[in-house]
Amino acid sequence: MAEHYDAQAVETKWQQRWEQQGAYQVDNDDPRPSYYVLCMYPYPSGPAHQGHIRNYTFGDLLVRQRTMQGYAVLSPIGFDSFGLPAENAAIKTGTHPRLYTEARIEELKSSLKRLGASYDWRREIRSHDPLYMRWNQLIFQKFLDAGLAYRKNAPVNWCPGCQTVLANEQVLADGTCERSGDVVVKRDLEQWFFRITDYADVLLDELDGLHWPERVKTMQRNWIGRSEGAEFELRVDGRDDEEAIRVFTTRPDTSFGMTFVVLAPEHPLVDRITTDDRRLEVEAFVERVRHESDIERQSSEAPLERRGVFTGAHAINPFTGKPVPVFLADYVLITYGTGAIMAVPGQDQRDWDFATAFDLPIIRTVEPPVDWVDGPYLGDGPAVNSDWLDGLPVAQAKAKAIDWLESQGIGERKVNYRLRDWLLSRQRYWGCPIPVVHCPIDGIVKVPEDQLPVLLPDDVEFRPTGESPLRYHAGFLYTTCPKCGGPAERETDTMDTFVDSSWYFERFCDPWTTSEPIDMEAATRWMAVDQYIGGIEHAILHLLYARFYTRALGDLGLAPVDVREPFVRLFTQGMITMDGSKMSKSRGNLVAPEHYFDGVGADALRLFHLFVGPPADDFDWAEQTDQMIEGCHRFLGRLWRLGIRAVDRVELVEREPTESDLEMEKETHRLIDRVSSDFDRWSYNTAVAAAMEFVNAVYRRIQSPDAARRESVDFAVDSLLLLLAPMAPHITAELWERRHPGSPSVHTQAWPVADPAQVKVDVVTMVVQLNGKVCTRIEVGAGIGESDAIDLVQADPKVVKAIAGRSVKRVIARPPGLVNLVV
RNA sequence: GCCCGGAUGGCGGAACAGGCAGACGCGAUGGUCUCAAACACCAUUGGAGGCAACUCCAUGCGGGUUCGAUUCCCGCUCCGGGCACCA
């Protein structure tokens, strides 16, 4: 009776052995060529969920394959351990966020170990580790020195649910918080910002060179939102130059068609230019808009007549010298451009609508096509009604208009971005404190470097008041000014957790160094990350911030300056959903991996995640999913019996290779070729399918009446184990050890390489078509020539019968695959 | 509204450069083993017709290009995602 496949025993054995041997530790002086694989470090919310399993299975596969290919693979892991859920749990249950978080980390860590994922655990980073906090704070101070971090009072996004401000990136398109779903409101607050806009153009330009999904690059391009145009001044009729209105436009070529000007209601000139007869109405309008939230204002469905108001003032269009009326409208934003626009209804939809509503003139300055019906024309065409621009296409007219503005000294070329500076301060406890004090005499003063990190006090009370517990903690709050020694208050805001995740991948290169945040030598060796793997949900936030940080750190001499981009290649895996919605703790639709570890085993679960579909596609967890996982387990059972040479007690024979034995060897080479190329193109599902198909074929051969040659079968099975090692690491390690006692682990063997001569097939099935429809198939030699193929086809009895005497008009021969006869 | 994906059997999916549609797995049906079951194994499995050889239909819908289209082009429908007064 052959020993059956016991996943528990095998997996426990190997996990223990890997841990004891430190099998996945990689030293910085490893002589092999470097390869850095990284999965986005997780927020520790408890045991792993299926999304984690999927993510870390893909990563682990690559780590193991690259290791077999001869690389020193850096594969670190850590925990994004600051964040709101721990603090909310503290308010609810009274457990301290640190204890809560560390318990969750242990659970998640256990899951990852049971998955059999290979990490250099010595390099583990936790964001809340005082050593990491120290460097996080030091980097902040360097940014402060460099003017990259600053403080300003601004209307900011306040989430009443999270009781903190949010970055623009954390507010969804519908105006709700990406985390809690509450409607975000505007509040004027003094906040900390990072000057990410300084890097807007490079962050945009350098996207081109990245091997990232096009979708993600597009999302970042849209988010940065570069627009090129001109900025220029319009004198207000009857006023001096001090009160000129600056406008930004992407269409300076259409300036002759400007028939009015619109200011944002918050524009500083509103009060000064409004005429007395219009003042009451204007003030009422400004007042009304001020009381609207951003979402109300943006989603306003009020009729246009109510969304704007005439100020009574007129501005002089510098191109025509003629006055045009100045309006206010809620759709003009004070936060973009100059907060004022020139309106050209002939070439802009909103201006057209506004002009129609207020009965303002419309002048076309670009000739629309002859069949143009109505409405603003946004396309290219010759300029009209534009004096010295007439006849020029849009691009040339733009350039000429800008040249003119510059020659007149009233305007210039200008680029604007949609991207705003990154608001990083949070009014919460469980985050990294911002390391400054506020002194009534010296203002903002950095906490001296030798006093870093500023730690979070443990003895705080978590109350649902909405204010950070740090504000009530006298011991933390009251301090002395490092400069003058007088009484001062500590900053009680903490950093956005996206700060922590913006440089952890650089710290992984040498997480031990105590003299600087990033060890230059180590980072030079390992950076950039060769392959980064994570969820699409981080397409903008994390991936943009990390790119900004990498550049800024390089520019400040804190990281290798030649590492301009952190992630060379990015892979975004699909989501696991259930009934179409995201799996999450709050929805209560988590399917715990532990259940499968205890049952079919980690290898079967890994194989399932690889097999179920393209890694980039979403997968909906459904009724049949368990049975599919069972199927993967069944496959491993078949592999097991092959591996221990116990397939139905079949005896393999020693003999000179027969035709069939040689064919199996060729199939083996083809499998090696197939799996290798499938891996290279992230097609794990087809790689698994090929392995299954191969196992079926080997079974058929050894169970056939003339059996199979031992040597050929051994080559087939050993190759199979090597190819499956990155996918199902435990069972392959066990079988390899049993088959090769005393040999090094399967995971340190060289990745197999197919012999190209063996990959080639010599007999192929040639499809014979009649008028494009399949008529028959003929086995032919792979090297068959065109005329031989045609002769063969025309001699085929089936073909002769099908043609039935009709004349062949045309022959399309694509030997050896196909011949098509047209009759 | 704009941009980007996607739609293939009962289900997940395959077809990599325009050339055999449905690989592989799940499910289903029948069988072998068993006292019986579980496990395992074998066979069949897109639909319709036919005893059968075989025929017809079929990759969301409608057109087109081509000897030949799941694949390319045009026009729709539905689903998913991103952006959305950004001047």
DSSP string, A55-90: HHHHHHHHHHHHHHTT-EEE---EE---SHHHHHHH
CA of A686 to C1' of B23 (A): 9
CA of A367 to C1' of B37 (A): 83
Q: Which amino acid is at A519?
A: D
> How many CA within 13 A on the CB side of residue A712?
24
Cis peptide before A453 (omega within 30 of 0): yes
CA of A624 to C1' of B29 (A): 18
What kind of fold does domain A227-416 have according to CATH?
A: Isoleucyl-tRNA Synthetase; domain 2 (3.90.740)
Handedness of CA A184, A190, A193, A198 (dihedral sign): positive
Protein residue with the closest CA to the C1' atom of nucleotide B23: A689
Cis peptide before A528 (omega within 30 of 0): yes
CA–C1' nearest nucleotide, residue A613:
B13
CA–C1' nearest nucleotide, residue A773:
B68
CA of A114 to C1' of B45 (A): 38
Token representation of residue A429? 């406890």
Buried/exposed code over A452-464 (b: 16+ C-beta within 10 A; e: otherwise): bbbebeeebebee
- Chain segment A396-442, per-residue pLDDT in tens: 999 999 999 999 999 999 888 888 889 898 888 999 999 999 999 99
CB-based contact A782:A765 (threshold 8 Å): no
- Chain segment A112-143, per-residue pLDDT in tens: 999 999 999 999 999 999 999 999 999 999 99
The vertex-A47 CA angle with A621 and A498, nearest 5°, equals: 95
pLDDT score of A586: 59
What's the 3-state SS for A453-504? CCCCCCCCCCCCCCCCHHHHCHHHHEEECCCCCCEEEECCCEECHHHHCCCH
Out of A526-530, A583-587, A655-659, A776-780, the most confident range is A526-530
Domain ranges for chain A: 136-195+421-497, 227-416, 621-758, 761-822
Reported in sequence order, the residue ranges of A160-222 that DSSP labels E, i.e. its strands, are 164-166, 185-194
Give me the residues paired with residue A325 across strands.
A314
Question: Does residue A443 carry a pLDDT above 80?
Answer: yes
Token representation of residue A693? 């198909």
Q: Is A534 helix (H, G, I), strand (E, B) or coil?
A: strand
Question: Does residue A303 carry a pLDDT above 90?
Answer: no
Give, for A446, the enclosing helix (H) or strand (E): strand A443-446
Buried/exposed code over A344-378 (b: 16+ C-beta within 10 A; e: otherwise): bbbbbebbbbbbeebebeebbbbbbeeeeeeebbe
CB-based contact A744:A695 (threshold 8 Å): no
pLDDT score of A298: 65
| Continuous H helices in A70-145 | 84-93, 97-115, 130-145
Q: How many residues does chain A have?
A: 823
Q: In what order do the strands lie in the sheet with A422-423?
A: A164-166, A149-159, A185-194, A422-423
Nearest residue to A1 (alpha-carbon basis) of A571, A470, A648: A648
Cis peptide before A816 (omega within 30 of 0): yes
Q: Which amino acid is at A687?
A: A
CA of A46 to C1' of B38 (A): 36
Q: Which CATH superfamily is domain A621-758 in?
A: Isoleucyl-tRNA Synthetase; Domain 1 (1.10.730.10)
CB-based contact A343:A349 (threshold 8 Å): no
Could you give the ipTM of this predicted complex? 0.93
Nearest residue to A671 (alpha-carbon basis) of A646, A693, A704: A693
Give, for A702, the enclosing helix (H) or strand (E): helix A684-703
Q: What is the distance between the alpha carbons of residues A614 and A689, in angstroms, rounded to a whole number?
A: 12
CA–C1' nearest nucleotide, residue A214:
B4
CA–C1' nearest nucleotide, residue A343:
B87
pLDDT score of A1: 45
Q: What is the distance between the alpha carbons of residues A207 and A213, in angstroms, rounded to a whole number?
A: 11
CA–C1' nearest nucleotide, residue A581:
B80
pLDDT score of A97: 93
CA–C1' nearest nucleotide, residue A772:
B68
- Chain segment A636-693, per-residue pLDDT in tens: 999 999 998 877 666 788 889 988 899 899 999 999 999 999 999 999 999 999 999 9
Percent of chain A with pLDDT over 90: 57
Q: What is the distance between the alpha carbons of residues A97 and A818, in angstroms, rounded to a whole number?
A: 68
Longest dimension (CA), chain A: 109
Lowest average pLDDT, out of A361-365, A588-592, A618-622, A625-629, goes to: A588-592
Q: Is A166 helix (H, G, I), strand (E, B) or coil?
A: strand
Q: Is A325 helix (H, G, I), strand (E, B) or coil?
A: strand
Question: Does residue A287 carry a pLDDT above 90?
Answer: no
Out of A67-76, A536-545, A703-712, the most confident range is A67-76
CB-based contact A721:A599 (threshold 8 Å): no
CA of A628 to C1' of B27 (A): 10
Protein residue with the closest CA to the C1' atom of nucleotide B15: A686
CA–C1' nearest nucleotide, residue A174:
B84
Burial class of residue A728 (count of CB atoms within 10 Å of its CB; 0-12, 13-18, 19+): buried
Q: What is the distance between the alpha carbons of residues A630 and A626, in angstroms, rounded to a whole number?
A: 6
Distances (CA, A) of A800 to A764, A808, A819, A823: 22, 11, 14, 12
Q: What is the distance between the alpha carbons of residues A543 and A538, in angstroms, rounded to a whole number?
A: 6
Distances (CA, A) of A703 to A43, A647, A709: 50, 8, 12
Residue-wise DSSP of A541-562: HHHHHHHHHHHHHHHTTSS-TT
pLDDT score of A301: 63
Q: What is the distance between the alpha carbons of residues A263 and A337, in angstroms, rounded to a whole number?
A: 11
What percent helix, strand, coil does chain A show, rounded to 5?
40, 20, 40
Buried/exposed code over A108-128 (b: 16+ C-beta within 10 A; e: otherwise): bbebbbbbbbbbbbebbbbbb
* Strand B nucleotides within 7 Å of a protein CB: 3-5, 10-16, 19-21, 23-27, 39-42, 67-69, 80-87
Over residues A617-626, the mean pLDDT reads 87
Lowest average pLDDT, out of A22-31, A659-668, A790-799, goes to: A790-799
Q: Which amino acid is at A349?
A: Q
CA of A633 to C1' of B15 (A): 26
CA of A773 to C1' of B21 (A): 13
Lowest average pLDDT, out of A2-6, A9-13, A570-574, A694-698, goes to: A2-6
Lowest average pLDDT, out of A109-118, A216-225, A247-256, A642-651, goes to: A642-651
Q: What is the distance between the alpha carbons of residues A310 and A163, in angstroms, rounded to a whole number?
A: 39
CA of A233 to C1' of B82 (A): 35
Over residues A30-49, the mean pLDDT reads 93
What kind of fold does domain A761-822 have according to CATH?
A: Ubiquitin-like (UB roll) (3.10.20)
Lowest average pLDDT, out of A103-117, A165-179, A398-412, A749-763, goes to: A165-179
Q: Which amino acid is at A621?
A: W
Q: Which amino acid is at A661?
A: D
Residue A446 falls in which region: left (phi positive, over 0), alpha (psi -120 to 50) or beta? beta
